[in-house]
Amino acid sequence: MTDRVACPALLVCAPASGQGKTSVAAALARLHSRNGLRVRCFKTGPDFIDPTILAKASGRPVCNLDTWIMGVEHCRGLLYQAAGSADLLIVEGVMGLFDGEPSSADLAEAFGLPIAPVIDASAMAQTFAAVLHGLATFRPSLRLAGAVANRVGSAYHGELLRAAVPKNLALACLPRLAEAVLPGRHLGLQLAEEIADIDRHLDVWADSLAGSWLAELPPPVYFSKPAAQPAPAELLAGKTIAVARDRAFCFLYPQNLDCLERLGAHLTFFSPLADRHLAAADAVYLPGGYPELYGAQLAANLSLKADLQRHAGQGKPVLAECGGMLYALESLIDCDGRTWPMLGLLPGTARMGARVAAIGSQAAICQGVEIRGHSFHYSTAEVGIKPWTIALTPDGRAGEAVYRHGALTASYLHFYFPSAPEWLAACFLLS
C-alpha cells in the first residue's frame, strides 16, 4: 500500500454512557454491510463486549483502539491496514466524548476522525441543541459530521429537535425501539453470541437509519502508514499454547492471539465448561470472562481441573488474568453467596460484589519490562501470597497485584500482549 490510504470513516460518540452508541454503530455497520460494502469496526478503549456486537453487525473482526495502552503508532497501523481493504470504517467511542485519558475526542483528533454524537433525546426537546453545541464546540479541532437524536418519541418530538439545531446540520431522528433493547448484566451488555435474536435486533436498528444522513457514506479520511516496527523474534517457535475460550472465558483481544502467533506459538483452544481433558500443551492461557456465572459447571468438571492441576504441577506455565485468575484460585464465591471450588493453583478466595471494585488502565513492571493493560471487575480476592509486583495507574497510583506462584502468573489485569511481546514470551516460557 501507499504511504496514505483514504477511506470513509466516522467516530460514533455521545455525551455519556447509555445514550445508544453501540446500537447506532452496530446499525450503521449492519446497514452498509448488507448493502455489500466492506465495513470494519473498532471500539475505543479496552472493551471485550461491544466488539462482539460490532463484529456480528459487520461480519468482520473488531479491534480496540487505545493510544495509552496500545500506543499511537500501533493504533495508526490498525487503522491504516483496515482502511486499505474497507469501504467504511466505524469507530465506537467510550463513555462521554471527552471522558477519560485518552478520551474518544483524543482518538478522533489524533487520526482526523469526524464525530457523530448520539444523544438520548427522550427527556428533552430544545435542550438537545445545547448539548450538541457543547459537544461540537468544546474542542474546536474536532469535525462534526452530523448528529443522532436517539429514542425520539414521536414525529412532533423530531420536529422540535430539528427546529432547534442549525439548518445545515445533518440530524437523524431515531425512534424508541423497545423491541430491540439488548440485555445486559454487571459488566455491560451481553455478548452477541448469547443473544438468540441478535440478527433481528441488528436489522431493526439498521432499518431505522434508512433515509437518514447515516445511510450515505461520510467523506474519506486519509490514514498514514505507521512508523516501521521490527518484527518480534519468534521466541515461542515450536511451543503450543492452550487458550481457554468459551462462555466463561470470552474476554480475548484478537491482537493478543495475533501476537502469540507472531511470536511463533501454535494455538489450540479448549472449553473449561465442556471439554473433559486438556490436550497436550507447553503452556496455558486463562483469559477473563464470567466464571462467576458458571461456578457449578467449572467446579463439576473434575477431569479437566485435574489436567490443569497436573499441567501446572509439572512446571508448565499458566497465565491467568481477571476471570482466569478467579478460576485459578482455591475458591470463588458467586453473586448469590455460593462457594465453588476452583483449580487451587493460587492460594486464596475471590468474592463477587455488587459494585465495581476496580476499573481503568494500568501498567506493570515485570522483570524490568513494562506491560500495559486494564482492570475492570466486581470481585475482590484474598490471595495467600505476596504480590510479585504492583501495577500503577497512568497517574502513578497503586493498582492491581501481579502474582507469580510456581508455574503460574496471575493478575486482575487484562494484559495487552503487543505492548510487551518479549515479556509475554518469557511469561509463557517461565524464564
Residue linked to cell 469501504: 87
Sequence-distant (≥ 6) Cβ neighbours of residue 186 within 8 angstroms? 335, 378
End-to-end CA distance of the chain: 39
Three-class SS state of 150: strand
Distance CA 313, CA 204 (A): 52
- 238: its cell numbers: 515450536
- For cell 491467568, the residue is 320
Instruction: List the catalytic residue out of 7, 322, 366, 427.
Output: 322
Sign of CA dihedral 422, 42, 15, 137: positive
Helix axes 254-262, 421-429, angle to 10 degrees: 70
Q: What's 300's DSSP letter?
A: H
CB 318 within 8 A of CB 411: no
Instruction: Give yes or no: 322 in active site.
Output: yes
CA distances from 416 to 47, 208, 258, 350, 359 (A): 12, 36, 11, 23, 15
Cβ contacts of 159 within 8 Å, gap of 6 or more: none
* Residue 127 one-letter amino acid: T
- φ, ψ of residue 366 to 5 degrees: the values are -120, 120
Bridge partners (DSSP) listed for residue 9: 89
Catalytic residues: 322
